[in-house]
Amino acid sequence: MATEVAALPRGDAVSAPRFPMLRIEDAEREARLRAVRAALEGRGCAALVLFNPVRIDYLSGFSHVSTERPMALVVPTDGDLGVLIPLLEQEHVAKAPLIRRIKVYPEYPGGGSGKHPLVHFADLLDELGLKGRGKRIACDTDGYIDLNGYVGPTLSAVLDGATVVEAREIVDKPRQVKSPAELHLVRESCKWGNLAHRVMQDRMAVGKTEIEVTLEAMGEAVPLMLKTLGATYGSGGRGLRSAPCSAGFIAGANTALPHGMRREGGLRPGDCIITGAGANVGGYQSELERTMIVGEPSAQFRQYFEAMIVAQNAGFAALRPGRTCAEAEAEVSRAIADQGYKALQRHHTGHGLGLEGHEQPFIDLDDQTVLEPGMVLSVEPGLYVPGLGGFRHSDTVIVTADGCELATYYPRDLESLIVPA
């Protein structure tokens, strides 16, 4: 029997503040903007330009689908936020009340205007007094991202000599420590990821394929989530591009590859299974993964499963404020090596979670980020045995004042994770 973690409260038992809506309120975004503006002034920058859609959403509440049509947000040290959008987003941006200066262009690459969208953006910056020599502009990237065939000039090329400096950490560093409202959304995400996983496990059976089980699970879990949360739910997506909750798995020897591919033919007795489940609540995400098996586990399977549990427990114990991510990773690696399985470790222990499924910081030997209360991370050390399978649980963990809170709470012991053969 696997050893369970002691003194880690279940995520659904933790007292959390009540929020009227499952989203981030404008007042919190305004506080984020004040912090960004203070950082800009400290660096002698007149504005911050963002092209990344997640960073744009984090500061402004404007959530959009990225295509070849560039969109960009400009945050001056004082004054209104400005945005560059194509004509087809003109009504959409009205849903983000913090944005008041809007520059609309017809289409990419020009829509018959003969004028590239980034030149339209330069016009907006000129109107805001942010163009030309002597100006210092911070940005997340020097131009729009390489996406869907987009080609265009850099930001620095259209600003008539203004100095452009990449400073994405102005946004990314504060994102590492979640506010009470953000933690509330992460905990809510954990609950619905838990539901999706439970439904998926209940639908698993010999002969059923990964796709079949996944569709059945989402077909049941998604309507339940939407009926329960009702009008308060919001993911920022369109249709099923960003599913409210999801669950899936891979099975067989493919699991010995950390990112193994789906296998056709259905579940078979003796298959190792690695699952994944999560939910998007107000844009915030969680991660839940389990190692399972079809039928009675062999002694060899139990051996590797128990070793993985030992490594994950070491990860939980290593996460506490004041330590670095590198120190936590070293403890997990040592727990794996002490069991004689160093050669089976193929990736670092975990990563940040929030608006993205993977974000800073990383539980890695080269990440010197100091852990702080409010950070949200996955803990997912894995062992990968060629010819047999992979062994990896992933749980969403919140760093607290004196350790960590296990926000996901699906069973971790092997007996709870056996699919009848």
Per-residue model confidence (pLDDT) at position 265: 82
Decide if pLDDT at 160 tops 50.
yes
Residue 363: count of CB within 10 angstroms of its CB: 30
Residues 327-338: tens digit of each pLDDT: 999 999 999 999
Q: Are residues 276 and 324 in the same domain?
A: yes
Question: Does 13 reside within a domain?
Answer: no
Decide if pLDDT at 239 tops 80.
no
Q: Are residues 242 and 110 in the same domain?
A: no
Question: Does 310 reside within a domain?
Answer: yes
What is the arithmetic mean of pLDDT over 216-224? 94
What is the arithmetic mean of pLDDT over 223-243? 72
Q: Are residues 209 and 269 in the same domain?
A: yes
Q: Are residues 256 and 384 in the same domain?
A: yes
CATH number for 191: 3.90.230.10
Q: Are residues 83 and 205 in the same domain?
A: no
Residues 18-42: tens digit of each pLDDT: 545 788 999 999 999 999 999 999 9
Residue 85: pLDDT band with limits 50, 70, 90: very high
Question: Does 8 reside within a domain?
Answer: no
Task: Write down which residue in 116, 140, 166 finishes a domain.
Answer: 166
Q: Which of 13-22, 131-140, 319-328, 393-402 has the lowest mean pLDDT?
A: 13-22
Q: What percent of the chain has pLDDT over 90?
A: 81
Task: Write down which residue in 166, 193, 213 finishes a domain.
Answer: 166
Question: Does 110 reside within a domain?
Answer: yes
Q: Which residue is it, tokens 């591919």?
A: 261
Q: Are residues 384 and 409 in the same domain?
A: yes
Q: Which of 5-9, 101-105, 267-271, 345-349 has the lowest mean pLDDT?
A: 5-9
What is the arithmetic mean of pLDDT over 72-88? 95
Q: Are residues 196 and 311 in the same domain?
A: yes
What value does the mean pLDDT of the chain take?
91
Q: Are residues 325 and 237 in the same domain?
A: yes
- Radius of gyration over alpha carbons of the chain, in Å? 23
Question: Does 203 reside within a domain?
Answer: yes
Q: Which of 9-13, 54-58, 268-272, 349-353 has the lowest mean pLDDT?
A: 9-13
Q: Are residues 86 and 190 in the same domain?
A: no
Residues 87-114: tens digit of each pLDDT: 998 888 888 889 999 999 999 999 999 9
Q: Are residues 267 and 147 in the same domain?
A: no
What is the arithmetic mean of pLDDT over 353-378? 97
Decide if pLDDT at 363 tops 70.
yes
Q: Which domain holds residue 128?
A: 44-166
Q: Are residues 105 and 228 in the same domain?
A: no
Per-residue model confidence (pLDDT) at position 152: 96
Q: Are residues 136 and 271 in the same domain?
A: no
Residues 274-300: tens digit of each pLDDT: 999 999 999 999 999 999 999 999 999
Phi, psi of 196 (to 5 degrees): -60, -40
Task: Write down which residue in 166, 185, 211 finishes a domain.
Answer: 166
Question: Does 19 reside within a domain?
Answer: no
Question: Does 6 reside within a domain?
Answer: no
**Number of structural domains, the chain?**
2
Question: Does 1 reside within a domain?
Answer: no
CATH number for 126: 3.40.350.10
